[in-house]
Amino acid sequence: MNPRRKKRLGLALALVLGVGSTVGLMVYALNQNMDLFYTPSEIVQGKPDGSKPYVGQRLRIGGMVVENSVSRDPESLKVTFKVADIGPEVTVVFEGILPDLFREGQGIVAQGELMDATTVYASEVLAKHDEEYMPPEIAEAMNKSHTPLEYTEQQQGSY
Phi then psi for residue 57, to 5 deg, are -75, 140
In the chain, DSSP finds a helix count (H) and a strand count (E) of: 4, 7
Q: 3-class DSSP state for residue 114? A: strand
54 is annotated as contributing to ligand binding: no
The residues of the chain scoring below 70 in pLDDT are: 32-35, 129-135, 137-139, 141-159
Strand pairing class (107-116; 89-95): unpaired
133 is annotated as contributing to ligand binding: yes
Distance, CA of 14 to CA of 12 (rounded, Å): 5
In the chain, helix, strand, coil percent, each to 5? 35, 30, 40
